[in-house]
Amino acid sequence: MGQLKFKDLYLGKIDAYNEFLEFGPEVCSEIFFEYPNLDFGKMVDGSVYYICGDKGTGKTMLLKYIEARMQQSENPVFTEFVRFKKDVDEDQRNQIKRASLPSQPFEEIIEKNIPTDIAINCVLAWQIYLIKLIVFRLNHTEYGVFDRNDKNWKQLNTLLNAVYNDADDDNITKRILPKVKKGNIELNIGKYGKVDFELEWTDSDKKAATFTSIAKKALDLYAKLIPTENKIYILVDELELSLKRTKSYERDITLIRDLIFAIQYISEISKEHGFPVYLIAAVRNEVYKNVQAKGMEINKTIHDFGVQISWQQHGGDISNHPLLKMLEKRIQYSEIKAGLVPTENVWQEYFVQTIGNSRIDVRNYILDQTWYKPRDIIRMFTAIQAVRGEKSTADQETFDTIRKDYSDDSWTEFEESLTAKYSNIEVDGIRLALTGMSIPFELKDFIAQIDGKADTFVEVETLKNGSHKPNQILRDLYDLGVIGNYGKVPRFVFKGDRDIDPMAPLTIHYPLIRFFRASIINYKSSGQ
């Protein structure tokens, strides 16, 4: 029996950002588990610009951990944390897009000649935004990173102040770009200094210039700055797409693509000139794949300057599995905080050794319930805290009790992911089509489910009459980890089997079988 009850264990939250907000950087740094493929040195020395991974793999946690570690450094280190999803709202995203459109007003362009989102280049707009973040963040300090007496620093500040006119705004992410009208920006240089910039002025009074000329001038001045001591880290999180395949979805593909390139270009300037400026962005794998699917060559950029978060373990002792070690660390930290000597063998003290009639090792059982993500472990044990918090040992009854809640919550997350491609009613149709499925099954069985339920459920009828073919729906479900290929050793995307085998039978991932009320049958191939 464990030293603490489950309700007294610190297990964290589903969302890492909320975890840091509630418990603070010191606590979160203590319970952070540095998984084997993480080279923290490369995270902070400018070798890595991008942290890639699926939803729930811990990208935000890693960024916040980097931020916390840097803030605990003996030497002053400046940081700025940007949440793309929250800080860059719809108006801001459209503003960046408009800044990259032709200078003529829309009414002067034939509709078919207006560039599609994919054709727009927003890299320059993002570069200016990143420079603004760096400069305005440092303006809240008295020293460090760049020589504040250098003329180029002063001129860059004058230009940015004139452009944004919000240098005293504490929320430096509030305005992504200044107001751009017909490709031009109105600015009053004289208000901030006596500098005669060579810009593409669009009026005789030199109060409006093209966005492109202003941006290029800012880049030129930035590249001429003089580095000093101390460092600054710009951490960009939540690079994810708007839900549903709408104009916003296509727009976001372009914006994120160009932000990725902008981070690379600013980082290259830092390397070339020895600037202690480091930019790191967390990029979801599905975003990367969608950008790549549009024929945009970002593969080399991500490959050369990115790191992939993976919690898989190929072989070896299961007791060393990183997800299990993460759970151990949190339990032991909870004991230390309670003034106890940490339990040496957590699995012996807090868990029964086997589960089910087949007497599967409890550690294998827990991993089989997951998609190999920290979020799954936290979700599972948060459910245990909620319904069996007074217990100090996780036994068969404990896991049986939380299975439904755990599977319901897991499917809710998959629904959110599916809405990036399917309408809400189509997602409901997919759920209804899978409900009552016998497993293993084949494509023809899934089609039969859709045909058989279309007359009863309008959601399934909508799915049937939509543009998504059944084989593509199954492929999308495989890519998410909802289903896998059936076999003695099932194939799942989260186990490293990237592509579905269209010739092999299919199964639903174990934690969702109860959710879909699926029945297990003796499989006999249609070819037999």
Measured between alpha carbons, how far is 273 from 269 in angstroms, rounded to an integer? 6
In whole angstroms, give the CA distance from residue 46 to residue 274.
11
Site of tokens 């693509």: 257
Residues in Cβ contact with 344 at an 8 Å cutoff, skipping those fewer than 6 apart: none
What's the alpha-carbon Rg for the chain, to the nearest Å?
26
pLDDT tens digits for the chain (528 residues)? 788 999 999 888 888 778 887 878 888 888 888 776 778 888 899 999 999 988 888 888 899 889 988 888 888 899 998 887 665 655 665 656 555 544 333 232 223 333 444 445 678 888 988 999 999 899 988 889 999 999 999 999 988 888 887 545 554 445 666 666 667 777 777 666 666 777 777 777 777 788 888 889 999 999 999 999 899 999 998 776 554 555 666 667 777 888 888 999 999 999 999 999 999 999 888 777 776 655 556 778 888 999 988 888 877 889 889 999 999 999 999 999 999 999 999 999 999 999 988 899 999 999 999 999 999 999 999 999 999 999 999 999 999 999 999 999 999 999 988 987 899 999 999 999 999 999 999 999 999 999 999 999 999 999 999 999 999 999 999 999 999 999 988 999 999 898 999 889 999 999 999 999 998 876 555 444
CB-count exposure of residue 372 (10 Å: 0-12, 13-18, 19+):
buried
Q: Round to whole Å and give the CA distance between 407 and 310.
A: 22
Q: What CA–CA distance (Å, rounded) separates 101 from 103?
A: 6
Locate 231 and state its tokens: 């460092």
Strands lying side by side in the sheet with 208-210: 180-181, 184-186, 208-210
DSSP letter at 201?
B
Backbone angles phi, psi at 6, to 5 degrees: -60, -35
Q: What is the DSSP string of 301-335?
A: HHHHHEEE------SS-GGG-HHHHHHHHHHHHHH
CA distance 128 to 99: 11
Q: Considering only CA atoms, which of 184, 217, 185 is closest in space to residue 199?
A: 217
CB 363 within 8 A of CB 374: no
- DSSP class of 441: B
CA 102 to chain centre: 31
* Phi/psi at 127 (5° precision): -60, -40
102-121 CB burial, b ≥16 within 10 A, e <16:
eeeeeeeeeeeeeeebeebe
pLDDT at 288: 72
Residue 374 has φ and ψ, to the nearest 5°, of -55, -35
Q: What whole-number distance in Å separates Cα of residue 236 and Cα of residue 266?
A: 14
Q: Note the pLDDT of residue 98.
A: 56
Q: Count of CB atoms within 10 A of residue 284's CB?
A: 21
- What whole-number distance in Å separates Cα of residue 162 and Cα of residue 265? 24
Residues 273 and 275: their CA atoms lie apart, in Å, by 6
By the 8 A CB rule, do 80 and 133 touch? yes
Query: pTM of this prediction?
Result: 0.83
Least Cα distance to 10 among 35, 28, 26, 33 occurs for 28
Distance separating alpha carbons of residues 239 and 83, to the nearest angstrom: 8
Report the C-alpha gap between 153 and 146 in whole angstroms: 8
DSSP per residue, 444-474: HHHHHHHHHHHTT-HHHHHHHHSS--HHHHH
pLDDT of residue 109: 28
Q: At what angle do helices 211-223 and 123-138 cross, to 10 degrees?
A: 50
Residue 201 and residue 178: Cα distance in Å, rounded?
A: 16
Residue position matching structure tokens 């639903």: 508
Residue pair 33/16 in contact (Cβ under 8 Å)? The answer is no
Identify the three-state secondary structure at position 484.
Answer: strand
| pLDDT score of 107 | 30
Name the nearest CA neighbour of 12 among 275, 521, 374, 509.
374
CA proximity to 501, closest of 470, 475, 472: 475
pLDDT score at 385: 94
Which tokens belong to 442?
């084949």
Q: In the prediction, which pLDDT does 161 show?
A: 84
Three-state DSSP state, 344: coil
Residue 441 falls in which region: left (phi positive, over 0), alpha (psi -120 to 50) or beta: beta
Tokens, residue 416: 């959110």
* Residues composing the chain: 528
**What local confidence, expressed as pLDDT, does residue 176 receive?**
66
Token couple for 176: 């992504």
